[in-house]
Structure 1
Amino acid sequence: MSVKGWVGGCLVAAVAAAGAAWLTIGQGAGSTTHAVCGPDLGRDEVVAARSQAVAVVEAVENTRYREDGGSAYLTTRVKTLHTLKGEFGDVLDVTQGVKNAGAPGRYTTEDPDRYAVLEPGRQYVIAIQSGSTTGTAGSEAWAWYAEPAERGLTGEREHWQKAIAAPPETSANSACEDIDAPAG
């Protein structure tokens, strides 16, 4: 092999190595970029502002699980303990998006802190995005937020009354924005 061949080969290898290093450092090893669309459900004042209705409920029974087009849904009958916003019937069916957790009757969600799976016998604060909250037969409400009621009934009422009274300063309608997040 000629000297020109060695030099050319070394240059190609050096450029490839530098490009790989730049790509790894530039992208941040172990991170991903994805779009976030919709309201920030990590802020209770946004949840309150963007929801049709909010209440403290007790899950009574899971009445139906169904899969449709690659998505899974769980419908739970709940008893209203305290209405915080909007109107709620005494008992109503609430549907939420879930994932099958591998065992019959076990489900999970992407964000169990802000979107907990409703389990019978436990109390939750739920926020309804759409549907009927009257409790009439054959009607369902879509819960897009469900959090365990860990503050107790009085504590949840006081907390959410403050959140409802303090709408977010910026628009609760957020557009899509790219965010970098650690992989994992």
Structure 2
Amino acid sequence: MNSEQSSRRRTAGAPITETLVDPQKTNTQRSSSRISRIINSLKWLTFAGWIFWYFEVDSGVQKVLSLNGWVRTLFFVSTFSLLSTFFIFFYLQYFLPFIKGTPPPKYSTWKHDKTLGKLIPVATITGTIGVVGMIIDFCNVWGFFGAVIVVIGLLRGVFAFLDIF
């Protein structure tokens, strides 16, 4: 048992002598990943369009808007929450780097950045409120599982559209 532990320590401390990144492959990988990203985005956009057509989302929205009371109010609150989330995303991804000229945000260290430390929790809360509210709203139209499929599928289509750029 003791010899096993010492052999594990020896192999874990062995230095890596080979290079991990081949500079010639990275340019090829970047161009192919851009093409595959566009193809993947088009696949999800097609899926979102099919969901929109199959579930007749426009008539479902009209049905929710024709209702009075808390369902209609929740629809407006959910829509506002999702729009707030997307505005925060556009502010961080496009406005700051392209208009103000700051470097793109590093999301891996968001807790240490002042701007990200404030905006990421707000975007998370508003996004959660928006998605859950939309699912509750559309349960009256398509049932629970249909509402989940519609909301998640259409949001995935929006993310796929944003991933093209």
Give the structure with higher Rg (CA). Answer: 1
More RCO (CA 8 Å, sep 6+):
2
Higher helix proportion, which one?
2
What TM-score bracket applies, with the shorter chain setting the length?
A: under 0.3
Instruction: With the length of structure 2 as denominator, give the TM-score of the two structures.
Output: 0.26
